[in-house]
Amino acid sequence: MEDLWKYLGINKTVSLICCMFWIFSAAEGNSISMVVGSKVILHCKNRTNDTLTQLTWKMNKVRLLTFKPVRLLDESQEARSLKINISLSGSEMYALVIERAEKSHTGNYTCEINTDKGSGEQKWELIIKEHEESGNFNKLLIAVAVSVPCVCCLIFIIAFAILRRVCKRAGGRSRSAEMQEREEDIYENCLETNQRRGYNRPNHYKPRAH
């Protein structure tokens, strides 16, 4: 009995993890980030073979566009002010089209589909960023890429100059010490030579006066 409860507990945990992963992956797939001035297309497709009766686009729960096969397209004042259109041709059928995105287009978009057999909806999160954000980031990367090698070269040159100066000083000191030792050796040799000469020199005595 305990094994059964453990088995059921493991299955519940795995199922919960799978559900959470599916929810977050779906939400991430419906999030779009664009820059100001770019063209944005949010697709909304009738995934069933049912007859479409009405399709409505909303932004932050405010109606933008409504399409009916009989009455065609109904635009709201909000859609006109934001310059938002709906595509009714080709592979972009029923897609929401923003020709030139602005910061004011940032928001949550919902596409509601009504058919003769039911209804459904598709959601999008649209984020519009300024050019400066991406531009500043690229400039920062370029600045770092250029400055780092220059700083490394400067550090290498300074270290090389310091090391060379230290080596010169050490060499000069060793040479001066060596020259001093040589001078001392020469001086000592001269003293020894003079002492030897003075020792071997004959003594001349003056005759005594009688």
Instruction: Decide: pTM greater than 0.85.
Output: no
- pLDDT category of residue 112 using cuts at 50, 70 and 90: very high
Residues 6+ apart with CB under 8 A from 37: 100, 101, 131
Q: Is it the case that residue 66 has pLDDT exceeding 90?
A: yes
| pLDDT for the residue 133 | 53
Whether domain 30-129 has CATH 2.60.40.10: yes
Q: Please state the three-class secondary structure of 76-124 as a single string.
A: CHHHHHHCEEECCCHHHCCCEEECCCCHHHCEEEEEEEEECCEEEEEEE
More confident residue, 163 or 39: 39
Q: What is the pLDDT of residues 144-153, one digit of tens each?
A: 777 788 888 8
| pLDDT for the residue 45 | 84
More confident residue, 138 or 167: 167
Question: The tokens 């635009």 sit on which residue?
Answer: 75
DSSP lists the bridge partners of residue 96 as: 42, 86
Domain ranges in the chain? 30-129, 131-199
